[in-house]
Amino acid sequence: MTVRIAPSLLSADFRTLGADIAMCEAGGADWIHVDVMDGRFVPSLSFGGKVIEAARRSTSKVVDVHLMVVEPEKYFDDFVKAGADVLTIHAEAAPHLDRQLSRIKELGCKAGVALNPATPLSAIEEIVHMLDLLLIMTVNPGYGGQTFIEYSVDKIERARFLLDQSGSTAVLEVDGGISRDTIARCWHAGADTFVAGNAVFGAADPQAEIGILRSLCADSA
C-alpha cells in the first residue's frame, strides 16, 4: 500500500496559510486536508468555501475536504466549484448516503464517508461499492489535539477486511490523534492515509515531521 500523509489545515496558522501549505508540499505531503465544521454536527465552527479556494490556489496536491456538517448536500456544488478533489460526509449526518454519494460523483469529485468512533461499520456495508474513501475517526470529531481512541485500531482492521472482501479500492483514511506514537499501529491495521494536524504543525520542524511520520509506516511494513 502507498502511505499518504494529509496535514490538516485546522492546525495551521491562518495568517500564513499559503506558506504553511507550501511547507507541507516541501515536506512531501500527499494531500491537504480541510475540515469544515458547522457548529451543529460538531460543537466547533471552522471554515468553508473560501479556505478551500485558498488551498486550491496554493497547491496542486489533492484537496481532501471533510464535511462535519448537517445536511452536507447543501455544500456539494459550492465546494466542488471551490476546488475540492475529495468530499467526505458523515454517515451520521447523511441518511441518504446512496443519493448523496451519487451526487458528489456526478459533480466530478471523489466521494467518501466518515464514521465516528461509536458508529459501526455496518452503516456503510450497503454502499461500500460506491466509496472512493472510507474515513475512520479515531477521536470524536470537533476539536484538534485530542487523544487517540485505542479501540479504533481493531475497527481499522475490520474496515480493511470489509474493503478487501468487497473488492473495493477505496482509500482507508484515519483522522484523530495521529502522531509518532499511533501512526504505525494504524498503518499495520490497514490504513493507508493519515490526517495529521497537531503532529505536523505543532512539531519543532513541521516540514521534517511529515517525513518522519511516513518513515514510521515504512519501518513497520
Q: Which residues are catalytic?
A: 35, 175
Strand partners, 175: 137, 195
Instruction: Write out the DSSP string of 162-199.
Output: HHHHTT---EEEEESS-STTTHHHHHHHT--EEEESHH
State the cell numbers at 187. 498503518
3-state secondary structure at position 88:
strand
Grid cell for residue 34: 480541510
The candidate with the shortest Cα–Cα distance to 26, out of 206, 216, 194, 199, is 206
Cβ partners under 8 Å of residue 211, min gap 6: 27, 28
